[in-house]
Chains A and B, each alone.
Chain A
């Protein structure tokens, strides 16, 4: 069982981020947990931290869709522009309070999105996706 080396949460909702942090901690205390309120900040961090690294285990990234300024989909568009060796290090999950069918379809259609999860995030949910052995990048 290969633990993710890091958890990243991108969401403009402070409280949601708090819940996510607690869930991740309950799942495992080992990986680093980083939360970002600003997607731009998240992207800069990714560029800095992952350009020169070569982690064996991927990073789990939880991404909210409905954010002001840039949405989750906009974030993904920018993420696609990153070099492949960075992208390969991530498993991205859309985390949303939305129940809309079109969001589900959009998530499934996206190349780098592994799945869509409903808020609130819980340790059980993380366990579930973890054990499905979908760490293999698509």
Chain B
């Protein structure tokens, strides 16, 4: 501006200086500061700018495009308006940048020649307004977001109850769009009962009552929606009722779950209870009252709760638990006995927990479950198991089970006892097989494998060694259990100890065999005797017939007569033998006495000393194991005598007879052995005739063939057994066994 019109210029200048906007002018193509007002300097945070270019003072303006804008105005003469533009200005002191929102005008300055000489600028700082506006916007959008994303429905009604605002959630709940809802009364969407409720509620709202209510709505699709509404009245500054704000929660699901819980509690007989410690009130749910057999309208107190537990340990425990819980917050879970109001004894599971407020117990609550049935059932099972155990022990039958799914094996106690196993042994198919007798193990293994593979019911017998090394005999039998689809679930089996039965069976078989043997002996005896009687008789008959013939010479008659006498004697002898044998076989009338073997042998040696000398017999004895036996002396004498004389009689002609007699004790048997080096017996041919009556093997030796038969008879009458081992020309061994109890 020229100095002409200085007054006007000065007035303008004054105005400019005091203008409420930041004002200034830059000259030239480099935009040198010509003039600025103090406000500008204050706003932009600079001092001495006159004479400097904008670029110099605000290097940061370049990249923000300010210089370019100035250039444009300078070159084109077009005014530039910037509205609420964000400009970053460097703060010289801190080195940081401040954000400004500025309204500014760049106007070309035309000189007197009509040429653009510079740029006027007017800047208004709108930072505060803008930031405030932004804050409001942000806050509004936050609120909006809250409202829109709320899990609860938000409902605004006017003073007539008509909808002015609904959020997204509410629309979801009721399945109506915002547009469909606006303007309609809230009761429009309710069921009949709730409508009436809403009408009354509106009145209360007008009176300023804020409350929580349950309303039933009907959704667009006809669904029943149960809601809990927290309703607040809205008043303006003049305290006029302007409307209501409602926070709507869809509790349909929650209600449903509550009903389910109630139902399942009822089914499980679980009742709940609550003690408000501060108010000193007690609440019992219906089921709790039912369990306690209390009337439905009964109002309990704390003492009623504890008092009904049975005196003694039950009451003590519950009292202590409650105390602990109230003092330290320790929860409890106990199974106790209590008496109902009606006096019935029941078992109950009581669970309790405490709520602490400000370090003090304010409330304890918990549940109460009637477990009488379960307890009784458990007891029944215990009893049942005990009975089964006893039954198994008595019957000597053990039971086992395999859970196929988990591959768990279980054995009853009786199985361990039968097999003689320690109870710590883990049951399994392998452990069982280990206990089976080695002879039977391959068979048993095979059967077990088959069972698991084919899922068939079966059984098998097996031998095993008992604890005392006795041979045991067992039977295991099993059955498969299947599910509906035919898959095997369990194998149930038993193990029977049949050792006793087997023993009895063995004894029975032995008895039968003995009887057979006896029978055979008798038959043989009767056959032989009858023959030996018949033989002389036949001869006598023949001879007497011949004697009738007178034509025989005296010589012949004499022979016949002698023969007759001889056979008559023979007959007499047989009858005599029969008598002896029968006497020996029947009851022993003689007394038993202690017989010393060495003395007996010595006496016999003396009595046949001549024979011994003649035949050069040597007799050795070894009675070191045992030298005495309580028995019938005469029988034992006969036995020794017959065996010794037999050995001498049937010596080998070329060998000096040696007879060795010895005794042994084995388990509970006394064994006497008579060994000789005589001519032996061909047992293959004559084995079963050795002890036969009148059986003789050597025609050239003396003897009726009665000696060994008598020996056998006598041995057996004394309750013993005799057996023979021999080989032709190698000698013979007779073994005599007696039961010995000492």
Contact = CB atoms under 8 A, between A and B. Distances in A.
Contact of A19 (B543, B695, B699): B543
Interface stretch (B208-216, B559-567, B628-636): B559-567
A122 B542 contact: yes
A69 B697 contact: yes
B698 interface: yes
Given A16-B539, A66-B531, A68-B696, A122 B566 contact: no
A122 B539 CA distance: 11
Contacts of B539: 13, 15-16, 19, 119-120
Contact of A69 (B535, B546, B699): B699
B682 to A, nearest CB: 11
15 contacts: A13-B539, A18-B559, A22-B546, A69-B696, A97-B531, A97-B534, A98-B531, A99-B534, A100-B527, A100-B531, A119-B539, A119-B542, A120-B541, A121-B542, A122-B545
Interface of A: 12-16, 18-19, 22-23, 38, 66, 68-69, 97-100, 118-122
Given A15-B566, A16-B539, A97-B535, 14 more contacts: A12-B699, A15-B563, A16-B538, A16-B542, A18-B563, A19-B539, A22-B546, A66-B535, A69-B696, A69-B699, A97-B534, A119-B534, A119-B535, A122-B545
A120 B538 contact: yes
Contacts of B543: 15, 19, 120
B537 A97 contact: yes
Interface string B11-34: 000000000000000000000000
Most buried by B among A18, A121, A122: A18
B703 to A, nearest CB: 9
Describe B's contact surface by its main secondary structure: helix
Contacts of B559: 18
Contact of A68 (B537, B542, B566, B699): B699
A14 B696 CA distance: 17
A19 B546 contact: yes
A21 to B, nearest CB: 10
Interface in B563-613: 563, 566-567
A100 B697 CA distance: 23
Contacts of B567: 15
B705 interface: yes
Contacts of A14: 563
Nearest to B533: A97
Contacts of B696: 68-69
Highest count of chain B CB atoms <10 Å: which of A15, A18, A23, A69: A15
A120 B560 CA distance: 14
A120 B542 contact: yes
Contacts of A19: 539, 542-543, 546
A38 B696 CA distance: 13
B538 A119 contact: yes
List the 3 closest A-B pairs by CB distance, nearest first: A120-B542, A119-B538, A68-B696
A100 B531 CA distance: 9
Interface in B696-710: 696-699, 705
Contacts of A12: 699
Contacts of A98: 530-531, 534
A100 B698 CA distance: 25
A18 B555 CA distance: 14
Interface string B516-558: 0000000000010011001101110111011000000000000
A16 B527 CA distance: 20
Contacts of B546: 19, 22
Contacts of A15: 539, 543, 563, 566-567
A68 B705 CA distance: 9
A118 B566 CA distance: 21
Contacts of B694: 68
A51 B543 CA distance: 36
Contacts of B563: 14-15, 18
A12 B566 CA distance: 15
B76 to A, nearest CB: 157
A38 B531 CA distance: 20
Contacts of A16: 535, 538-539, 542
A68 B535 contact: no
Of the listed residues B537, B539, B694, B696, the one surrounded by the most CB atoms of chain A closer than 10 A to its CB is B539
B704 to A, nearest CB: 9
A22 B699 CA distance: 25
A97 B63 CA distance: 157
A68 B531 contact: no
Contacts of B538: 16, 97, 118-120
